Amino acid sequence: MAITNNDIAAIFNRVADLLELSGGNEFRVRAYRGAAMSVASFSQSLADIIISGQEIPKLAGIGKDLEGKIGEIVKTGKLAQLKELESQVPTDLIELTHLPGLGAKRVRLIFDKLGVKTIDALEKAARSEKIRAIRGLGEKTEKNILAEIEKRKGLQQNVKLIDAIKTAAPLVEYLKAVDGVMQVTVAGSYRRRKETVRDVDILVACSNAKTVMDVFAAYPQVKQILAKGLKKTTVVLESGLQVDVRAVSESSYGAALVYFTGSKEHNVAIRKIGVRKKIKLNEYGVFRGKRRIAGKTEEDVYATVDLPWIEPELREDRGEIDAATSGKLPHIIELDDIQGDLHAHTTTTDGRSSLEEMIEAAISRRYKYLAITEHTQHVTVANGLEPKAMRKRLAEIEKAGQKYKEITVLKGAEIDILSDGSLDLPEEILEELDIRVCAVHYKFNLTKEEQTSRILKAMENPWCQILAHPTGRQINIRSGYEVDLPAIFRAAAQHGVALECNAQPARLDLNDINLRAAKEVGAKFVISTDSHHTSELEFMQYGVWQARRGWLEKRDVLNSQSLKGLLSSLRKAPQAALSHK
DNA sequence: GCCGTTTTCGGCCCGACTGTTTTCAGTCG
C-alpha cells in the first residue's frame, strides 16, 4: 500500500503532539506541524517521487532532517522516532488535548498529578473534584472540563458552507441594524469559501464595540456564551454553530479583515515577511515602530509587505504568497464566466422540476446552453431510463429545445459506469447524445485497485467525455470510494476527459486540493450543478468557489466557453460513429 | 527543526480572553 502525503502528515502531526506532551521545545513542535501542513497540501505524491528516484522538491518548512524522515516513512512505512516517543508518552493523552480548553501543558499536569489518561478517567476526576485541587487549575476549569465532555457526547461536525451561509445571513442583518455599526463582513473560512466551516467569524466596524458585544450576546438564537469581552465575543447558537464576533474601528477594518479572514497559516506567512521588513502586522494595522503605516483596506495592508491583494479563496499558504511575489497569481474563475450547465435532471428520472421549467430557469440565468442528463437504467433508485426510454426522452429534449431561441438545450445523459468499467448505454444511443457525462453510482466498496481500473477503463472508452463527481464523496456523510486519483487525473489529461467539479453543496467533488492536482497534470474541467430542481441551478456559485480554491482559471473550465468553444474542446466522439451520422 | 537583503546562531506571528493568582500562564484562532 503506497504511502500518501496525508499519511506522512499524520505521522508528523503525531510526533508534534507527543513532543508537545513530553514538554519538548515548542518551536520544534511547530516545525513538525508546519512540515505536516506543507506535505499535506503538496499536490504531487511524495512517495511516487521518491520511489521513481527523483529529488524531493524544496518544500517550505522541510529541511535536511525532515526530508530524511519523509524518505524513511516512504521506504519503511514507519518512523523510528515516533515509535520511540510512543514508548515514552502515553498516546491516549493526545485525545485529551483535543478537548477545548485543555492543551498539552494542562493534560500533562493532570496526568502527572492524577495519572489521568482517558476522557472517562478525566470525567471521574472532575466529578470527584480532584482537578480543582491541582495548583494552577481551579473550580471553573474543572466545571469547564465537565461541560466540554458533555458537549462531546452530542458532537457537532463541521457544518457545510451552505448551512453556515443560511445561519449567518439573518445574524449579519441583525448586527448591521445596531447603532454605530458601519460595516459587517463574515470573514474566516466562510469568506475563503471552504467547503465546511467549524465556526463563523464576523467582523464589525463600529464606533461602539461594547454595545455591539452586548447586542450580539442578546441575539435570540444564542444558546450559550463561551466568552465575552470588550472587543470579542464567542457564542454557540441554537443550531450548534459557533459564532465569533470581533469589533474594530473603521480605520482598522482592512487589517482586521486580513487577520480575521486567515487562514492562520497565510497570516503567519505574511507576518513573517513583515518581521523581515521590520514592520509589525496585527488586526489593528501595520506598524513601523509605533507609527501606523496602513490598516484601512486590505490592499493597503498587503502593499506594506510588497504583495498585491490576494483573493480570499487562495489564502491557505499553499503557494499563493510566492505566486503573488513573482506576479504569478492565477486569475481564478468567476461566476460570471460560466456560460452554461452540463449536468441536470428532470421529473422523468429523479428530478423535481419539469424539462421546460429547467430550461426556463437556465434562460433566466442567461445561460447559452443547458445539458439535460437523465440517469441510465442501472441507477434504478433514480428511475434510470432503459435505452428505449432514453431514446424517447432524447426526442422530447430535442423538441422542447427547439421552442427556445435564447438557449441551446443539449441532449445528454449521466451514464452509469458499471462495475466492469463498461458504460450503461448501447453505442447507438451514445451516438445520439450531444454530451456524455459518466459516473459511478454503486459498488463503492471495491478495492482501490479494482475501483481504479474500473474507472480508468471507462475513461479509455472513447465515448466518455466528462467524469462526474469523481470520488463519490458526500460531505459529512461518506468519504467516497478508494481510488488512485493521480492515475485518474493523468488519464483525464491523456484522453481529454473533462473532470467535473460537482457544485452540489454536499458533494463539491472534486475538492480544492484535487482540482489543483489535476490541473497541474494538464486536466480540463467542467463545473456542473447536478441540479434536481430549478432552484439548484444556483449551486453553480458553490462549484465556482471550490474551483477558485483549486486555483482554476477560466481557461481550465470548458463551460466558461461559448457553445461552439465547448463542443470543440470536449473530447471528440469516435470518427467511425460520426461518419455514418 | 527550520532558516537567513543585518544572521550558520539565535531567533521563531500576534493579540484576546479566561482563570488563576496578585502579575501571568495557558489556550485559542
Q: Which nucleotide is nearest to A102 (CA to C1')?
A: B27
Within 7 Å: CB of A229 and strand B?
Answer: yes
Q: Distance in angstroms, CA of A229 to C1' of B16? A: 8
Within 7 Å: CB of A252 and strand B?
Answer: no
Q: Distance in angstroms, CA of A284 to C1' of B21? A: 30
Q: State yes or no: pLDDT of A354 exceeds 50.
A: yes
Q: Distance in angstroms, CA of A233 to C1' of B16? A: 10
Within 7 Å: CB of A299 and strand B?
Answer: no
User: Which H or E run includes A578?
Assistant: helix A575-579
DSSP string, A97-114: HTSTT--HHHHHHHHHHH
Q: Kindly indicate the confidence band of residue A402, based on its pLDDT and cuts at 50, 70 and 90.
A: very high
pLDDT score for A581 = 42
Among A89, A99, A90, smallest CA distance to A122 is for A99
Within 7 Å: CB of A35 and strand B?
Answer: yes
DSSP string, A294-312: E-SSHHHHHHHTT-----G
Rounded to 10 degrees, the C-alpha dihedral A572/A575/A579/A581 comes to: -40
Q: Distance in angstroms, CA of A394 to C1' of B15? A: 62
Within 7 Å: CB of A154 and strand B?
Answer: no
Q: Kindly indicate the confidence band of residue A43, based on its pLDDT and cuts at 50, 70 and 90.
A: confident
Mean pLDDT of chain A, nearest integer: 92
- The radius of gyration computed from the CA coordinates of chain A, to the nearest angstrom, equals 27
Q: In a 3-state reduction of DSSP, which class is residue A186? A: strand
Within 7 Å: CB of A266 and strand B?
Answer: no
Within 7 Å: CB of A31 and strand B?
Answer: yes
Contacting residues 59-98/A vs strand B (CB within 7 A): 60-67, 81, 97
**Residue A344 DSSP one-character state:** B
Q: State yes or no: pLDDT of A173 exceeds 60.
A: yes
Using one digit for the tens of pLDDT, what is the confidence trace for A523-562?
Answer: 999 999 999 999 999 999 999 999 999 999 999 999 999 9
Q: Which nucleotide is nearest to A97 (CA to C1')?
A: B27
Q: Which nucleotide is nearest to A143 (CA to C1')?
A: B19
Within 7 Å: CB of A166 and strand B?
Answer: no
Q: State yes or no: pLDDT of A58 exceeds 90.
A: no
Instruction: Note whether A528 and A559 are within 8 A (CB).
Output: yes
Residue nearest to nucleotide B29 (CA to C1'): A264
Q: Kindly indicate the confidence band of residue A44, based on its pLDDT and cuts at 50, 70 and 90.
A: confident
pLDDT score for A155 = 56
pLDDT score for A412 = 96
Instruction: Note whether A571 and A459 are within 8 A (CB).
Output: no
Q: State yes or no: pLDDT of A580 exceeds 50.
A: no
Within 7 Å: CB of A224 and strand B?
Answer: no
| Average pLDDT, integer, range A16-20 | 91
Q: Distance in angstroms, CA of A345 to C1' of B11? A: 60
Instruction: Note whether A334 and A555 are within 8 A (CB).
Output: no
pLDDT score for A154 = 61
Within 7 Å: CB of A478 and strand B?
Answer: no
Q: Kindly indicate the confidence band of residue A234, based on its pLDDT and cuts at 50, 70 and 90.
A: very high
Q: Which nucleotide is nearest to A276 (CA to C1')?
A: B5
- Least confident range from A187-196, A382-391, A476-485: namely A476-485
Q: Distance in angstroms, CA of A133 to C1' of B19? A: 14
| Average pLDDT, integer, range A92-105 | 87
Within 7 Å: CB of A103 and strand B?
Answer: yes
Q: State yes or no: pLDDT of A314 exceeds 80.
A: yes
- Least confident range from A380-384, A457-461, A495-499: namely A380-384
pLDDT score for A575 = 66
Using one digit for the tens of pLDDT, what is the confidence trace for A180-223?
Answer: 999 999 999 999 999 999 899 999 999 999 999 999 999 999 98
More confident residue, A503 or A153: A503
Q: State yes or no: pLDDT of A265 exceeds 50.
A: yes
CA distance A301 to A254: 7
Q: Which nucleotide is nearest to A244 (CA to C1')?
A: B29
Tell me whether strands A181-186 and A408-416 are parallel, antiparallel or unpaired.
Answer: unpaired
Q: State yes or no: pLDDT of A238 exceeds 90.
A: no
pLDDT score for A59 = 87
The model's pTM is 0.81
**Residue A539 DSSP one-character state:** G
**Which of A136-140, A236-240, A243-247 is predicted most confidently?**
A243-247
Query: Which residue has 468557489 as its cell numbers?
Result: A545
Q: Kindly indicate the confidence band of residue A579, based on its pLDDT and cuts at 50, 70 and 90.
A: very low
DSSP string, A187-251: -HHHHTT-SEESEEEEEEEES-HHHHHHHHHT-TTEEEEEEE-SSEEEEEETTS-EEEEEEE-GG
Q: Which nucleotide is nearest to A274 (CA to C1')?
A: B13
Within 7 Å: CB of A104 and strand B?
Answer: yes
Q: Distance in angstroms, CA of A341 to C1' of B8? A: 57
Q: Distance in angstroms, CA of A454 to C1' of B15? A: 53
CA distance A43 to A4: 11
Within 7 Å: CB of A230 and strand B?
Answer: yes
| Average pLDDT, integer, range A31-50 | 88
Q: Which nucleotide is nearest to A137 (CA to C1')?
A: B20
pLDDT score for A156 = 59
| Average pLDDT, integer, range A90-116 | 89
Within 7 Å: CB of A137 and strand B?
Answer: yes
φ, ψ for residue A148, nearest 5 deg = -65, -35
| Average pLDDT, integer, range A467-478 | 89
Within 7 Å: CB of A392 and strand B?
Answer: no
Q: Which nucleotide is nearest to A267 (CA to C1')?
A: B13
Q: Which nucleotide is nearest to A139 (CA to C1')?
A: B19
Query: Chain B: nucleotides under 7 Å from a protein CB?
Result: 1-3, 5-7, 11-21, 25-29
Within 7 Å: CB of A202 and strand B?
Answer: no
Contacting residues 172-201/A vs strand B (CB within 7 A): 188, 198-199, 201
Q: Distance in angstroms, CA of A331 to C1' of B14? A: 31
pLDDT score for A101 = 85
| Average pLDDT, integer, range A22-45 | 88
More confident residue, A478 or A16: A16
Share of chain A above pLDDT 70, in %: 98
Q: State yes or no: pLDDT of A147 exceeds 90.
A: no
Q: Distance in angstroms, CA of A148 to C1' of B13? A: 29
